[in-house]
């Protein structure tokens, strides 16, 4: 079992404190969802775990199986089993998707045991078809000219190819139509096992209809303010974040005036 542990995490971006003491434990075999209004630090949490250089940990720790992430570079964190499906993946021309994924897989293997071309292609074809992605995508340049939906699918494809221990999915549902959402969810559900854990960040309850979480955490004002099961998301859908805030007696300022606008699309 692999465990990702976040303890009393405080994070600043450009001198401004965004996370103000987050505590969270994600084990393999568990699916967690983090919900919360805009500007509350959900993406900051995911980028900090992965090690984005713009995010500064001012207090607290993040560990994976008791190794402190503070001592690890971004690529070391990835090789230790972490994966971040990004909201805005980079585009890199001149580097094909296939080459990129092969490099990522081989980075995890010893020099004298690199994945063979045939077994790589077989695996890629299988996962690609599972996600209803076209054959030509393998030879296209990395995310270059991909639509928003194609990029999200490509993030999930990478996850399935790399097989991380713990994946963080940062708003993997944003900008997806219902069919694409189903495909992406199918990918995540296919990964579900005792060897895989996920932390999903989302605004919308809708995603959780397709990927049912074991735990739902609500973040407000840079902290996790409530944790529950899948039913907590349903409750939020009807009451909104403001309702929960008032119920908990918090004095958190919500970024948007009309909090219920988050649910209009559903």
- Choice between 77 and 245, CB closer to other proteins: 77
Query: How far is it, in rounded angstroms, from Cα 1 to Cα 227?
Result: 22
The residue range among 69-77, 116-124, 192-200, 214-222 that interacts with other proteins, by the rule CB under 8 A, is 69-77
- Choice between 32 and 77, CB closer to other proteins: 77
Count of residues binding other proteins (CB under 8 A)? 29
Among 10, 108, 186, 192, binds other proteins (CB under 8 A): 108
Among 50, 160, 169, 259, binds other proteins (CB under 8 A): 50
Query: How far is it, in rounded angstroms, from Cα 107 to Cα 76?
Result: 10
CB of 133 to other proteins, least distance (A): 18
The residue range among 6-14, 96-104, 195-203, 244-252 that interacts with other proteins, by the rule CB under 8 A, is 96-104
The two tokens of residue 264 are: 């209009």
CB of 83 to other proteins, least distance (A): 8
Q: Which of residues 176-215 bind other proteins (CB under 8 A)?
A: none
What are the residue ranges of helices labelled H in the chain?
42-50, 74-79, 97-106, 117-130, 148-162, 178-191, 206-210, 230-248
242 lies in the binding site for other proteins (CB under 8 A): no
Q: Which residues of 239-253 are buried (b: 16+ CB within 10 A; e: fewer)?
A: ebbbebbeeeeeebe
- Choice between 25 and 103, CB closer to other proteins: 103
Q: Which residues of 198-237 are buried (b: 16+ CB within 10 A; e: fewer)?
A: bbbbbbbbbbbebbebebbbbbbbbbbbbeeebebbebbb
- Choice between 103 and 117, CB closer to other proteins: 103
90 lies in the binding site for other proteins (CB under 8 A): yes
Instruction: Compute the C-alpha angle 198/206/156, nearest 5°.
Output: 40
CB of 107 to other proteins, least distance (A): 4
x/- map, 146-175, other proteins, by CB under 8 A: ------------x---x-------------
Identify the burial level of 136 via C-beta atoms within 10 angstroms of its C-beta, where 0-12 means exposed, 13-18 middle and 19 or more buried. exposed
Instruction: Compute the C-alpha angle 174/46/201, nearest 5°.
Output: 35
CB of 144 to other proteins, least distance (A): 8
86 lies in the binding site for other proteins (CB under 8 A): yes
CB of 181 to other proteins, least distance (A): 23
Query: At which residue do the structure tokens 């219920």 appear?
Result: 260
- Choice between 109 and 182, CB closer to other proteins: 109
**DSSP bridge partners of 217:** 34, 227
Residues that bind other proteins (CB under 8 A): 50-53, 73-75, 77-79, 83-84, 86, 89-90, 92-95, 100, 103-104, 107-108, 141-142, 144, 158, 162
């Amino acid at each position: 079992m692999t465990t990702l542990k976040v303890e009393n995490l405080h994070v600043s971006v450009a001198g401004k404190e965004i996370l103000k003491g987050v505590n969270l434990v994600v084990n393999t075999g568990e699916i967690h969802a983090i919900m919360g209004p805009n500007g509350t630090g959900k993406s900051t949490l995911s980028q900090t775990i992965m090690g984005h250089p713009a995010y500064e940990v001012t207090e607290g720790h993040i560990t994976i199986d008791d190794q402190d992430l503070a001592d690890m570079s971004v690529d070391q964190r990835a090789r230790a089993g972490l994966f971040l499906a990004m909201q805005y993946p980079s585009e890199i021309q001149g580097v094909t998707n296939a080459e990129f994924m092969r490099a990522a897989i081989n980075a995890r293997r010893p020099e004298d045991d690199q994945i063979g071309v045939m077994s790589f292609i077989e695996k890629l074809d299988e996962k690609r078809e599972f996600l209803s992605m076209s054959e030509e995508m393998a030879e296209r340049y990395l995310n270059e000219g991909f639509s928003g939906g194609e990029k999200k699918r490509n993030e999930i494809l990478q996850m399935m190819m790399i097989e991380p221990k713990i994946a963080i999915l940062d708003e993997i549902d944003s900008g997806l139509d219902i069919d694409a959402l189903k495909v992406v969810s199918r990918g995540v559900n296919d990964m579900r096992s005792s060897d895989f854990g996920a932390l999903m960040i989302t605004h919308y309850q809708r995603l959780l209809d397709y990927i049912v979480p074991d735990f739902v955490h609500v973040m407000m004002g840079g902290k996790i303010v409530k944790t529950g099961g899948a039913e907590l998301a349903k409750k939020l859908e009807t009451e909104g974040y403001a309702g929960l805030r008032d119920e908990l007696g918090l004095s958190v300022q919500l970024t948007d005036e009309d909090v219920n606008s988050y649910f209009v699309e559903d």
